[in-house]
Amino acid sequence: MVTVPARRKRATIHDVAVEAGVSRGTVSRVVNDEPYVSAAARTAIEAAIEKVGYVPNNAARNLVMQRSQAVGFIVHEPHSLFLDDPNIGGILLGANTVLSRADYQMVSLVIDSQRDTDRVARYLSGGFVDGVIIVSARHEDPMIRVVEKLALPAAFVGHPPDLRRLPFVGIDNRRSARAITERLIGTGRSRIGMIAAALDRDSGADRLAGFTDALGSRFDPNLVERVPLYTYSDGAAGMRALLAREPGIDGVFAASDAVAAGALEALRDAGRSVPGDVGVVGFDDSTWALRTQPHLSTVHQPAFGLGAAAAECVLGQLRGEEQPAEGILLETPVVWRDSA
């Protein structure tokens, strides 16, 4: 029979005070990094903390302060895309870096159904997080109304049209899509199509608008293939559909690098060379861009910077700071490589 050792009793402020020979109030001031404690007392208390193994009870302290020291990171995407999309990973890392520096935990919450939406809404209502960062919000996304109702400090990555005056960080998807399409036109292509993904959110709709702007009177709606998601498989399917409708297509703007990578596979299968027969450009400058052959010409999206800016925005609200009503937009330079 194995004897399970008794669980060690957690050290308390009282234990530290006894060991250091000071009052509990003095220990509390040191633990909370408050002034009015002599250097000698502080040294004695720090030594006592080390000796008795005291760890502050943050849960109790947060209950008094009505703070959780946590920020939610909400992603409105299929669970598989949350793991596969390098942009989401970059945004997450940027946000976590800033929050960690401020001693905040990040809680990841993935929404892929109405049931998920209801579950996350209940969680937010319970006061388990002090604020939220929301990625990939859709038009009329219920999370927008939940955040408004709870008056929760929030930052959206992206700008759904019904966001009203809630804070956001993002990029100018329309201007960026126009810029890279114009660069593609400049290579001498005449039948340029687009694989337009994720049109239920601002990024997808704005990239299609920028593509349309660039082509002007040359825009042909028959050369636009709409697909649901920013995924490799949707890119391959979209490219096959475009080739079936317009075999003479000689240029393609794919709404993301993952979509572009799928398009390259479909073009190879159809015996088309890139960039010889068809020039292809993507969007994001993600890890996909350098995994393809040839490497993708694309738009650089600063995913890490977007996450960091969103976290700073939430922390600023928690400090009571005003946030710019016009949002925060980061730069997105075109990165020209061999695919066009």
pLDDT at position 63 is 46
pLDDT at position 36 is 86
If DSSP codes are grouped into helix, strand and coil, which group holds residue 206?
helix
Amino acid at 287: T
Which of 297, 250, 302, 295 has its CA nearest to residue 272?
250
Pairing of strands 131-135, 154-157: parallel
**What gap in Å lies between CA 338 and CA 275, rounded to an integer?**
7
Handedness of CA 330, 334, 337, 340 (dihedral sign): positive
pLDDT at position 214 is 98
| 3.40.50.2300, 3.30.70.260, 3.40.50.80, 3.40.50.2000: CATH of 70-171+304-331 | 3.40.50.2300
Amino acid at 243: L
Under-50 pLDDT residues of the chain: 1-7, 59, 62-65
Phi, psi of 97 (to 5 degrees): -60, -45
**What gap in Å lies between CA 257 and CA 172, rounded to an integer?**
17
CATH of domain 6-56: 1.10.260.40
42-90 per-position pLDDT tens digit: 999 999 998 888 877 654 554 444 568 999 999 998 877 777 888 999 9
Which fold does the domain 173-299 belong to in CATH? Answer: Rossmann fold (3.40.50)
Q: Given this chain, do its domains 6-56 and 70-171+304-331 carry the same CATH topology? A: no
pLDDT at position 66 is 55
The answer to whether 136 and 159 are in contact (CB under 8 A) is no
Q: Please give the model's pTM, rounded to 2 decimal places.
A: 0.80
Phi, psi of 227 (to 5 degrees): -130, 160
Q: Which residues of 99-125 are buried (b: 16+ CB within 10 A; e: fewer)?
A: beeeebebeebbbeeeeebeebbeebe
Sequence spans of domains, the chain = 6-56, 70-171+304-331, 173-299
User: What DSSP assignment string belongs to 20-87?
Assistant: HTS-HHHHHHHHTT-S---HHHHHHHHHHHHHHT----HHHHHHHHT--SEEEEEEES-HHHHHH-HH
